[in-house]
Amino acid sequence: MMTRLRNYFLTGFIVTAPLAITAYLAWSMIGWVDSWVKPYIPFRYNPDNYLPFAVPGFGLIVALVLITLIGFLTANFIGRTIIATGEKILGRMPLVRSVYRGLKQILETVLSERSDTFKKVGLIEYPRKGLWALVFIATETRGEVQAKIDDDMGQTIAVFLPTTPNPTSGYLLFVPKKDVIELKMTVEEGAKLVISAGLVAPEYQAKTEALAAEAKAKSAQPARNKRIASSRPNK
């Protein structure tokens, strides 16, 4: 009886824990955005001022609308002119310009639809030969770093080596491209593997692919035999 109760409890915990954590993080994110945006909403447009209860998420909706509107205005000539003027002003501020340019370059690289940044997972031997570590492949090494690296190493790539169980912290490594083994798992599956310390491993698809290729070959065999038979001369 106790064993059944324990199994029921563990099953319920496995089902409810991810839902509860996700709901908590989403609610915290909504509350954080609301706390930043709502104080700047005019009094007459803020429903919290004339309703008996606060409206969660209203600040988030306003923020999304404003960001979309800014993107729309930036796409035309007037918007580009305003942005260029603002960037010139920021470019004259010694400390602010470094932070702004760095953040802008990072966001443009990460959010670009044509970029392959952090869309691949790989393995490298780290911290020594015979030990393997999971990495997220960033991009090919460019600039002074690649120029200063020994030519015998060939092209190197920048990879991010996450730490367990927090994948947001880690190390930036420049590794020879030939020493990186690319995996077929997605970045999401790789993050799960890191966060769970290896307990949640994605299903390996090699056997499935082999079975699919075998089935395809078998289905193509009758058609091939039929073509061979029809091409033979009648006696």
| Residue 212: per-residue pLDDT | 62
| Residue 91: per-residue pLDDT | 79
Domain 120-195 in CATH 2.30.30 = yes
Intervals of CATH 2.30.30 along the chain:
120-195
Alpha carbons within 13 angstroms on the beta-carbon side of residue 98 total 2
| Residue 122: per-residue pLDDT | 92
SS3 content of the chain, % helix, strand, coil (to 5): 60, 15, 25
* Segment 177-215, tens digit of pLDDT: 888 999 888 888 888 888 888 877 777 665 556 666 676
For the chain, residues with pLDDT lower than 50 are 113
| Residue 152: per-residue pLDDT | 66
The residue with tokens 């690296």 is 149
> What is the C-alpha separation between 171 and 140, in angstroms, rounded?
16
| Residue 18: per-residue pLDDT | 82
